[in-house]
Structure formats: structure tokens, C-alpha cells
Structure 1
């Protein structure tokens, strides 16, 4: 058995990060419209002119599609295709436990794709499962919320048994929360960042592949420079949607590759 310690590894609260970004933007004069539905991006003569909402049109020469699980729906409403798949992720959060200190490291059992870290006095743990559930958001109701994601606790208990020798606490600790998320996976495990082909002013910031939060400050910075200077400060060709060609992308193959990337988040095995 090999063990590697990463001294600068860390974790943070995703909700706090999002709120922090929003507050920082607001302090710079950005108007926030929480819970506003984006019906479609308006495009005329190959250029973005704004966005359509239930409260009218917002005129703008640039739109960034960072809609997470709904990225495809936003793009496709304006005739733009983007090859990514929303994929269910479901961790447990345990009840507070003696000795579950916030200073403890994150633990990853690489071969089993199981992870665990401290969380609110207990542990958060989950798995990059072998056969994840993939979603087409158009099949869900208009009022669907990520908190309504169907979950399967049996999957987690199965993998907890697989790593019982290394992490016996997973089978013993009472569960406080069972929650889910919908990260977007791509066929090659890389983000989709940058302009949409053939449409000026339409940019993507999506395809997070379960790693969006950790890299979001850097991607936001380079994407802002890309929009203002019409070129990225570094070569981001490997992240542009153009790497997939003009399409069409067979949906069954996209889903197969996206599921493989999810399971092998810790590397090929």
C-alpha cells in the first residue's frame, strides 16, 4: 500500500464561495438578479445582442453560459450545441463525531474512488461510482431544483463495504445528511471554456468535471481577460469547445465517455 500526503490540500464550503463571488461582483457595481429565468440568448447576424427573461430583454453584447447542469439548455435554446452531460453525485454527511477535527486531511482511496473529509464536526464522504446516473435536464420539470435530485443510499453503502478495511468509520457513523449535486462531465474530462464557434459574444464556462470550484477563480480571471482583450492571456485551446469539432456528437458515445471520466476522476485504472 502506498500513501501520499499533500500538505497544501484543502477544502471549503461551496455555498460560501458562491456568495463571496456574488458579493464581490455587487461591490463592483454588478446588478444581481437571483432566481431569474434565462429563456434564451438573443443572436442577430452571428452576434449576441442580449438575453430573454420573463421580465423582458436584457441587452448585452456578451453572454457567458455558466448555467451548470442547464448549460446545454441555455445554449441549445439559441441553436448552439455543447457536448456535456449532467451527472449525479451524492455524498453523505455524518453526525458530529469525537475526533473529527477540521484540521484532519482529506482522504482518498484511489482504487475504490472513495473520498472523505471533515465537515461540520463529522465527515463528508462519497464515491465516484462505476455506473453514475446521467441526466437530460429537458426531461425534468421546469421547477426542478438540485435538492430534488433522486438519490440512492444503497450505492454509498456498497462502496463503504468495499473500503471497510481502510475506513471502517463509514459503516459506523450515523448519517445526518444525504445530498446530491449535478456536475457536468465532458468526453475528455476537461472544462469547456471560451467562445462558441460562429457566434460573437457567446462564451462558455462549464464542463466542470467535478472540479469547477477549485479552479473557478483562475478560469473567471482568464475568461474576463479573453472577453475584454479578445484573446486569452494563456493558450486555452485545449479547453475550447472547438476541440470537439463541428459535431454532431452521438449522444450515446458522449454519455459513455462522460461516465468513464466520472468513474476515473482519480486517474485511469
Structure 2
């Protein structure tokens, strides 16, 4: 039985249910970290700007190998205390090494995503910037559409393809997008996108659904390109919670039933 005078208990059941189902409305976007891309931070900033233009609050989870070490509280999974507010529309969580702390007996770390959604219920979009191996454990067999990062140098393109191959073969993901950092007059940008799309289809049975080009010299405060604006709108129109997984939804439903009883 709950103590009616306990201030920690929500005064209205709807408020409690909204918190429990926070993960059911958030859009998770796996962003594949690429160590060969020189302007990865700029690319993440441009993504945040595009979502912010649509009024969405973005939480950036940086779990890449180059991310800052997480705060001690995060190591104890008190994630809400570790989410930093960067602006009215962007929050940030340093999470290097954190997802694997949530690994279950099957090797999945999807519960980390549920914990993040609970810690930041105000987020509409969560950009999960991590290595392809970490993303495999978080998003395996889900409806996620990873965003590959690359620029127009061979090493970056090779890494993007290798990451797509791993996510396809290990996690069963088949649809990808590409964000390419290249100057507007780059002679290789379109050819790179075509080659990646062809290789995805011919060798993996995968699909490069969309590709976007951003100028690494652009200012993050500039209005996003029409293509980036369209891509962000497309992500926001996806069904909320599609990437959370059935097990997380079942757990939330069980908790909700407990409150209503």
C-alpha cells in the first residue's frame, strides 16, 4: 500500500503514468561514431539545430570512445543528475562505457535506453552517438535506422561501410542513413553516397535510404539545409517508442498496472 502522505508518490496517477511511458514517445537515433571524421562534433551540432527548428528537445548521449568519462553518479546509474543542460533545446550525457553496465544475460544493453528515457523525460529525440559494437548491443533486432557518419576521405568511408556491415550482420539492421561532411563543391560526395548504397544492396541486402551533405565550415547557428530539415521532420514523424523494444514496453505496462491497482 502507498502512503497517501508520502510526497514522493505522484498526486495524480496520470503524472506517474506519463513518467513510466516517457520512453514510449521519445525517438532514438543511433549515430555511428566514426574516428576518421574530422568534424564529428559539428555534425552532431547540425543535427541538434535541425531538430530544434521543429521544436524538439534533443538529448545527446556521447558513448563513443572519444567521449568524456562519465561522472561518478552516472557510474552508479543516477543518470538524471548527470544530464547537462546545454541550451533550452539540447541536453548532453557523457556516457563512455556506461551502456555495457546495463548488459543482461543475452548480451543486450537496451535497458540503458530505458534508463535514459526515464532520466530525461523532457527529451523528444535522443541521439545515441556510440561505436557500432555498442549500438549492436543496444538496438539489435529493433526498428532503428542508424545514421552513418563519414566525410569524403577514403578512411572515413571505409569505416562507415564496415560499421554498416557489422550492424547488419550482428544486429539485423537493414535500413541506414548517411550524413556526409563535405564542402558544397566536393566532387566526391555524391559518388560516395552512390557507392555505399550500391555496396549495401549488393553485398548486405541492406538499404541506404537517405543521404545528407553538410558543410563542415558552416556555423551550427545557421539554418539547416532543406535536406537536413526534411530528414529531421521524417524522424519526428516516426512512431514514438518504435526502437525501445517489446520487453521494455511490457515492463512499463506491468508498472502501470501496479499503480492503478
Which structure has the higher relative contact order (CA within 8 Å, separation 6+)? 2
Over alpha carbons, which structure has the higher Rg? 1
Query: Which TM-score band applies after superposition, normalised by the shorter structure?
Result: under 0.3
Which structure is higher in helix share?
Answer: 2
The normalised TM-score by structure 2 is: 0.24
